[in-house]
Chains A and B, each alone.
Chain A
Amino acid sequence: MSLLEIRDLKVTFGGLDALSGLNFHVDEGEIVSVIGPNGAGKTTFFNAISGLVPPTEGEIEFEGESIVGLDPSIVTSLGIARTFQNVRLFPNMTVLENVMVAQHCRTTQLLVGALLQTKAFKKEEREIRERAEEVLGFFGHRLIGYRMDQPAFALSYANRRRLEIARAMATQPRMLLLDEPVAGMNPIETIELTEMIGRLRTEWGFTIVVIEHDMKVVRDVSDRVVVLDHGVPIAQGSYDEVSTDPDVIEAYLGRPVEAAS
Chain B
Amino acid sequence: MNVRVAPAPSSILDQDWSKVLRWGLICGGALIAICLVGMPVEMDRRILVERYLSLGYLSVLCIPVLVGWVASTQVVLEGVEARKQGLFDLVTGFVVGAIGGGCLALLMVALDSWNLRDPLVNWSPKLLRFLTYENGMGFGAVAWIVTGAVLGLAGASFRVMPRAVRRFTTFVLFGLISLSILESVIDDLSEGFRLEWLDEFMYAKKGGLTLTSVIVIGAVIGVLSLVADGRMKAATERYRNLEGVERQKTSIVLFVVVAVLCIVLPMFLGKIVNELLANVGLFLLLALGLNIVVGLAGLLDLGYVAFFAVGGYTTAVLTSPNSPWFAPELHFGFALIFVVIFATITGLVIGAPVIRMRGDYLAIVTLGFGEIIRLLFMSDWLGPYFGGAQGVTNIPGVDLGFATVKGTDPRSVFYLVLFFCAIAIYVSWRLQASRLGRAWMAIREDEQVAEAMGINTVSSKLMAFVVGAVLASFSGAVLAAKVGSVFPTSFMILVSIIILVVVIVGGMGNIAGVMVGSFVLIGVLGGPKQPGLLQEFQNFKLLIYGLLLVFMMLKRPEGLVPSARRSRELHQEEFLQDAWLQDDKLDSDDEVSVSDGGGEEQ
A interface, CB within 8 angstroms of B: 50-52, 71-73, 76-77, 81-82, 84, 88-93, 97, 100-102, 104-107, 109-111, 113-115, 117, 121, 124-125, 128, 140-142, 147, 150-151, 153-154, 156, 167-168, 171, 188-189, 191-192, 194-195
Contacts and interface: CB of A to CB of B under 8 A. Distances in A.
Interface in B509-566: 565-566
Interface stretch (B112-120, B270-278, B367-375, B437-445): B437-445
A102 B437 contact: no
Contact of A195 (B437, B439, B463, B597): B597
A50 B594 CA distance: 32
B268 to A, nearest CB: 33
Nearest to A173: B454
Interface string B485-515: 0000000000000000000000000000000
Contacts of A156: 587
A93 B438 contact: yes
B381 to A, nearest CB: 35
B193 to A, nearest CB: 38
A218 to B, nearest CB: 15
B581 to A, nearest CB: 12
Interface of B: 426-427, 430-431, 434-439, 441-442, 445-446, 448-457, 463, 467, 565-566, 568-569, 572, 575-576, 579, 586-587, 589-591, 593-595, 597-598, 600-602
Nearest to A171: B454
Contacts of B566: 92
Contact of B595 (A92, A93, A188): A188
A73 B455 contact: yes
Contact of B449 (A88, A114, A194): A88
Nearest to A158: B590
B438 A97 contact: yes
A104 B569 CA distance: 24
Given A90-B446, A100-B438, A72 B452 contact: yes
A214 to B, nearest CB: 14
A117 to B, nearest CB: 7
A116 to B, nearest CB: 9
Contact of B457 (A51, A73, A109): A73
Contact of A154 (B430, B437, B456, B579): B579
Contacts of B450: 90, 101
Given A109-B435, A114-B436, A188-B595, A50 B442 contact: no
A191 B598 contact: yes
Contacts of A111: 431, 436, 463, 467
Closest 5 CB pairs of A and B: A105-B454, A114-B434, A76-B454, A90-B445, A101-B438
B449 A90 contact: yes
A150 B434 contact: no
Among A88, A140, A188: residue with most chain B CB under 10 A: A188
Nearest to B449: A88
Nearest to A93: B441
B451 A73 contact: yes
Which of A82, A93, A100, A101 counts the most B-chain CB atoms under 10 A from its CB?
A101
A211 to B, nearest CB: 15
Contacts of B456: 71, 73, 105
A125 to B, nearest CB: 8
Contacts of A113: 434
Given A72-B451, A84-B449, A188-B598, A153 B572 contact: yes
A233 B582 CA distance: 48
Contacts of B569: 91-92, 151
Contacts of A71: 451, 456
A57 B182 CA distance: 71
